[in-house]
Amino acid sequence: MDGKQTITLTITCPDTVGIVAAVSGFLSEHDAFITEAAQYGDPFSKRFFMRCVFIPGALCPPKGELEKRFSMIAQRFQMIWHMYDAADKPRVVVLVSKFGHCLNDLLHRYHTGSLPVEIPAIISNHPDMQSQVEWNKIPFHYLPVDKTDKTRQERALIALLDDLEPDLVVLARYMQILSPELCARLSGHCINIHHSFLPSFKGAKPYHQAHSRGVKLIGATAHYVTTDLDEGPIIDQAVERVDHTHTPDDLVAMGRDIENLVLSRAVRYHIEHRVLMNGAKTVVFK
Amino acid sequence: MDGKQTITLTITCPDTVGIVAAVSGFLSEHDAFITEAAQYGDPFSKRFFMRCVFIPGALCPPKGELEKRFSMIAQRFQMIWHMYDAADKPRVVVLVSKFGHCLNDLLHRYHTGSLPVEIPAIISNHPDMQSQVEWNKIPFHYLPVDKTDKTRQERALIALLDDLEPDLVVLARYMQILSPELCARLSGHCINIHHSFLPSFKGAKPYHQAHSRGVKLIGATAHYVTTDLDEGPIIDQAVERVDHTHTPDDLVAMGRDIENLVLSRAVRYHIEHRVLMNGAKTVVFK
Amino acid sequence: MDGKQTITLTITCPDTVGIVAAVSGFLSEHDAFITEAAQYGDPFSKRFFMRCVFIPGALCPPKGELEKRFSMIAQRFQMIWHMYDAADKPRVVVLVSKFGHCLNDLLHRYHTGSLPVEIPAIISNHPDMQSQVEWNKIPFHYLPVDKTDKTRQERALIALLDDLEPDLVVLARYMQILSPELCARLSGHCINIHHSFLPSFKGAKPYHQAHSRGVKLIGATAHYVTTDLDEGPIIDQAVERVDHTHTPDDLVAMGRDIENLVLSRAVRYHIEHRVLMNGAKTVVFK
Amino acid sequence: MDGKQTITLTITCPDTVGIVAAVSGFLSEHDAFITEAAQYGDPFSKRFFMRCVFIPGALCPPKGELEKRFSMIAQRFQMIWHMYDAADKPRVVVLVSKFGHCLNDLLHRYHTGSLPVEIPAIISNHPDMQSQVEWNKIPFHYLPVDKTDKTRQERALIALLDDLEPDLVVLARYMQILSPELCARLSGHCINIHHSFLPSFKGAKPYHQAHSRGVKLIGATAHYVTTDLDEGPIIDQAVERVDHTHTPDDLVAMGRDIENLVLSRAVRYHIEHRVLMNGAKTVVFK
């Protein structure tokens, strides 16, 4: 981005005449050059969604002042809105259990700069990933689950998250179910990868379910976590062709590649503020 | 095929040592040149599946005699088996309601010779397709449904099928549910196209269900019809990427292209004897 | 579209601050409700592209008056621009030779209303498609090529096109090369389907070229026709997986399905005014 | 594999009657249970290809003796053939330059056991990957290129390969061109990943070439290295959809995921002995 400041504006509001005119007029008047813009009016929910990336020109006031002025327009249209400076890297905490492929994939993207985030911590209920995480110079927190009292581990997890203040929590094949309270608290800020093409094969061992049913494509789904298991708003999905020769183990192995792709795309969409919530669904401005 | 006779042999039997040796030895001894062969042993069901295409050489006896001799081997291995002469075109009856895209697609393939079948009849509970079917010089049977007694229409349908003796019945968006009796009778010889990526979105209006759930891919599934609605063995599936801007009507329109592809592939696999049943699943030798 | 008038506005101009503000401000002031909008600023060519669909409200003047007023803004930003009323169906002329799959596909979409165009004529250098075209109640023009003087046929073709005044000419596997003069004349209004994944395998018999090279995917490309054969701006492409068992004839057969899909999508994008030219490339607002 | 010995037999020979019978008869007589088998007769080259995986039973002689006996059959049919014991892990040497994504992907598969190979060394003309390689407990060899005499580095490379005796050399984005001598020497045992959908965009900066041409899909190709740059037999390819908004840098980033998938698949096919050479093409028994 050539060292220039870049700001992303996201807006959700009831749909009506004049929103784009008001927003783009405001930006134009404040010498902001739009480099990307996308909008969508949902004819069903009658909600309007907008994402706009702009470079403030010489005459543009600082972000704080710009936000103050914009709030007038926002109020008029009852907007839920945010301005994000691209220089403020989102803080992403990753939770993982024993399967490390999604974590490895995210760490490689982080390590090479292709995923521009800060990772203040990686948390696991197993110690297996510690060495790899520490090689990446990221603090690793081992929070084992006490089977006689699972809530203890979650309390420790919540305390840690309180401390870390992440913008996004990623469940990278984290095999513990979050309590409804934690789900609610992380609402819209917690992405899970489910290893099936939802809504098919919810719950445990989806690749084994897929094998039993004899499907000809398997998939993976990245979605926001809600209190309904595997029912949250879907961000991205992908599939791969399989055939009768594939055992459940083969599906597991092939699925890992799909999970990597889908989860990393969903995380990227999220941190680039491309995902807006539309009830139980998402608007994704790619 | 250069005018040469081509025979396809399909085999299903319990898996054990020596099946391929016995079959290929038999063919070699009878001067048959194998042009295609595929086999699969299912480690779960312990069943063995084989498909073999061969050209009888000068010293090979006629098909009837070959079958008689092969039955000795078949008995030894408890085979379910068939030999099909490629010159005997399968008789395919197509059932359709008001949506004609799958029918149009199949008819074009039939008309241009790319689907080498005979179509002795097309049957519909609506008159809409009559003109197009007759342009293709195929008899059209209009069997309207009497809403006060649906069984009447099915009795007429069964009588017609008894007459036509089809090798395959294709439900090309036929919007009537077949009775359990008819399903059982057509078992393994009746292919339906369901307009979703099964097992997601069974039953009515799957594209509307997909829209509500906010999935990022929609699909279609061709499967053998069984008494459990949309639960039969899957032959082929495909998907297409969608996003938040697509209305249910858009999904319906995009879905038509997927349905065409998937159904025509499934029909081709079936008539080329590439599909073998493995319990509630299929083995498809592509 | 609920009987409401719908207007599509397309814009191409040098990129600068304030374009979206000016356009959306203009529409808002004229009581136009935007239902779809997309814009793109190319950082390389420094050109700006916009497509906007709106429903004129009660206070909006008629289209002619709206265009007159908009021309002031257009002039300021040096816009190339158009307003299209969705009620004015584009006139599409299809050229075809002996392979009828793309024509059949387009005709089915036309016939069922999913491709909202007028087809004033279908033109061919072979008589093969006449019956099917006429069944669709479309005039068929047979313009055979005189091998001793190919220019004669093209002169007849040009005269016919002069008469028909099409908005779009579709080469649906039309196997004659257009002269540079005709290419220039149809520039931006003539779509060809090439049966390879361009820029691989230009020219004749691309599936045979693909077979020789042993590629693992084959494809098709829809592009605007230019004087450089198979070098025009690409509108859409798709591929399908193949393997060593596929003969050139198999590739031809599989390719037909890809060609149908790609060509029909490209035609739809074009008639919905989603395609804007950006030098030798296209901007496609899906 | 349950601790049972598993042997893979590959065969290439002129096509004729009786090959499968002879091979499967031999295996059956020697109490070998076939778990996977695939064969293909190329109607163009008239060559026959076969891959067969079997478990030796109690009465089967040791592999050395089995090979001795099989050589009689092999001679009769002029076979090029090999028997591989699955317990003998292939030795794979990876060459890499500055882009580490393919290496990271292969290392993760190696580390988690999903790629059952030995990696005796990783070689690079840059030091960047040293730390990551050594974290995986694999020797790292830094062979910098002397720009005044590039042959020096290659001589060192050849000496090292002589020492390491790899079964396979993988060029995981290794940005040096191998000499014709080295290419010839590694013939059939050296896989390169090219970051385009070959034969499109050979040579340097393929993603920039793709951006200039305005293609709507980008791809990657894994192929055996030959003396003709980017012309070797293709093992696998894949593509991803792109659009006008993607810059060359975006294509590079998206391409990395395709390269990872395609290269890892090609390596897996190779080490599982699924790839047989058919002139300038490959037969891949998936």
CA distances from C168 to A283, C184, C233 (A): 34, 14, 15
Nearest to A17 among C21, C33, C241 (CB): C33
Using a CB-CB cut-off of 8 Å, the residues of chain C touching B239 are none
Q: What chain C residue is nearest to A34 in terms of C-alpha separation? A: C17
CA distance A198 to A238: 10
Over the stretch A1-25, which tens digit does the pLDDT of each residue have? 456 899 999 999 999 999 999 999 9
C240 burial via Cβ count (<10 Å: 0-12, 13-18, 19+): middle
pLDDT tens string C55-90: 999 999 999 999 999 999 999 999 999 999 999 999
User: What amino acid is encoded at D113 in this protein?
Assistant: G
Q: For residue B94, which amino acid is it?
A: V
CA B84 to chain centre: 15
pLDDT of A277 higher than 80:
yes
* Cα(C115)–Cα(D205) distance, integer angstroms: 40
- B113 touches B106 (CB < 8 A): no
Q: Of B42, B167, B230, B250, which residue is the catalytic one? A: B230
Q: Which two tokens mark C32?
A: 């136009």
Per-residue pLDDT of chain B (286 residues; tens, 9 = 90+): 456 899 999 999 999 999 999 999 999 999 999 999 999 999 999 999 999 999 999 999 999 999 999 999 999 999 999 999 999 999 999 999 999 999 999 999 999 999 999 999 999 999 999 999 999 999 999 999 999 998 999 999 999 999 999 999 999 999 999 999 999 999 999 999 999 999 999 989 999 999 999 999 999 999 999 998 889 999 999 999 999 999 999 999 999 999 999 999 999 999 999 999 999 999 999 9
Q: Say if the Cβ atoms of D24 and B28 lie within 8 Å.
A: no
Over the stretch A68-102, which tens digit does the pLDDT of each residue have? 999 999 999 999 999 999 999 999 999 999 999 99
Nearest residue on chain D to C283, judged by CA atoms? D244
As averages over each run of 10 residues, the pLDDT of chain D (286 residues) reads 82 96 96 95 96 96 97 98 97 97 97 96 97 96 94 96 97 96 96 96 94 97 94 97 97 97 98 97 97
Residues from chain C contacting residue D215 (CB–CB below 8 Å): 198-199, 234, 237
For residue B248, whether the previous peptide bond is cis, meaning omega lies within 30 degrees of 0, is no
Closest by alpha carbon to B132, among B169, B106, B161, B113? Answer: B106
Q: How far apart (Å, rounded) are the C-alpha atoms in residues C259 and D55?
A: 45
Closest residue in B to C104 (Cα–Cα): B108
Q: Which member of D230, D243, D250, D257 is catalytic?
A: D230
Structure tokens belonging to residue B135: 């342009």
- Exactly one of A230, A243, A249, A257 is catalytic; which is it? A230
Task: Report the pLDDT value the prediction gives residue B80, as an integer from 0 to 100.
Answer: 98
CB contact under 8 A, C261 and B257: yes
CA distance B33 to chain D (A): 5
Chain D residues touching B241 at Cβ < 8 A? 241
- pLDDT at residue D229, as a whole number: 84
Does D261 reach chain C within 8 Å, measured CB to CB? no
| Subunits adjacent to chain A (3 or more Cβ pairs under 8 Å) | B, C, D
- Residue of chain D nearest A35, judged by CA positions: D245
Give the pairing type, strands B168-171 and B281-284. unpaired
Do B244 and A278 count as a contact with CB atoms less than 8 A apart?
yes
Q: What is the Cα–Cα distance from B93 to B91, expressed in whole angstroms?
A: 7
Q: How far apart are CA A212 and CA A205, in angstroms?
A: 11
Cβ of A234 within 8 Å of Cβ of B217? The answer is no
Q: Per the CB < 8 Å rule, is A215 touching B238?
A: no
Query: Which chains does B contact via 3+ CB–CB distances below 8 A?
Result: A, C, D
For residue A255, the chain D residue with the least C-alpha distance is D261
Question: Three-class SS of residue C16?
Answer: coil
Contact A100 D114 (CB under 8 A): no
Residue type, A168: L
- The answer to whether B251 contacts chain D (CB < 8 Å) is no
C217 touches chain A (CB under 8 A): no
Which chain D residues touch C235 with a CB distance below 8 Å?
A: 216
| Average predicted confidence (pLDDT) for chain C | 96
The ranges assigned to domains in chain C are: 7-85, 92-284
Q: Are the Cβ atoms of A41 and C25 closer than 8 angstroms?
A: no
CA distance C120 to C140: 9
**Shortest Cα distance, chain A CAs vs residue B47, angstroms:** 12
Of C40, C215, C286, the CB nearest to D237: C215
Assess C57–A contact: CB distance below 8 Å, yes or no: yes
* Angstroms from A181 CA to nearest CA on chain C: 38
Complete DSSP assignment for C54-67: EEE-TTPPPHHHHH
Complex prediction ipTM = 0.94
**Any D CB within 8 A of A255 CB:** no
Q: How far is CA A183 from CA A176, A192, A230, B34, B258, in A?
A: 12, 11, 12, 60, 37
- D chain contacts of residue B37, beta-carbon cutoff 8 Å: 20, 39
Residue-level pLDDT at A1 = 41
- How far apart CA C266 and CA C281 sit, in angstroms, is 14
Contacts of D39 in chain B (CB under 8 A): 34, 37
Q: Which fold has domain B7-85?
A: Alpha-Beta Plaits (3.30.70)
Query: Which residues 82-111 in chain D show a CB within 8 A of chain A?
Result: 100-101, 104-105, 108
Any CB–CB contact under 8 A between C38 and chain D?
no
Structure token pair of residue D141:
């060899």
Q: Please report residues of A whose CB lies closer than 8 A to that of D114.
A: 253, 256
Task: Look at C17 and A32 and tell me if their CB atoms are within 8 Å.
Answer: yes
Any CB–CB contact under 8 A between B42 and chain D?
no
Closest residue in chain D to residue A37, using alpha carbons only = D245
Residues of chain B with Cβ-Cβ distance to C36 below 8 Å are 245
Report d(CA C173, CA C156) in Å as an integer: 19
CB contact D286 to C (< 8 Å)? yes
Instruction: Pick from C24, C35, C55, C241 the residue to mutate for testing the A interface (most A CBs within 10 Å).
Output: C24
Cβ of residue D261 closer than 8 Å to a chain A Cβ: yes
pLDDT in the model for residue D2: 52
Chain C neighbors (3+ CB pairs < 8 Å):
A, B, D
Chosen from B51, B108, B265 to mutate, greatest number of chain C CBs within 10 A:
B108
A216 — contact with chain B (CB < 8 Å)? yes
Q: Which residues of B touch C108 (CB under 8 A)?
A: 100-101, 104-105
* Residues composing chain C: 286
Q: What is the mean pLDDT of residues A205-221?
A: 96
Across the interface, whether the CB atoms of A20 and C18 are under 8 A apart is answered: no
Q: In sequence order, what DSSP letters do the residues of D114-161 get, joined into one string? A: SS--B---EEESSSTTHHHHHHTT--EEE----TT-HHHHHHHHHHHH
pLDDT band at C42, cuts 50/70/90? very high
B147, with CB counted inside 10 A (0-12, 13-18, 19+), is exposed
Does domain D92-284 fall into CATH 3.40.50.170?
Answer: yes
Q: Are strands C7-14 and B275-278 parallel, antiparallel or unpaired?
A: unpaired
**A234 and B219 in contact by Cβ < 8 A?**
no
- Contact (CB, 8 A) for A197 and A216: no
Judge whether C230 counts as a catalytic residue. yes
Q: What is the pLDDT confidence band of residue C1, given thresholds at 50, 70 and 90? A: very low
Q: Which of B28, B43, B57 is closest, CB to CB, to D21?
A: B28
Please, which residues bridge with residue C237 across strands? Answer: C221
Q: Which residues of C touch B137 (CB under 8 A)?
A: none
Output C219 or C228, whichever has higher pLDDT: C219
pLDDT of amino acid B1: 41
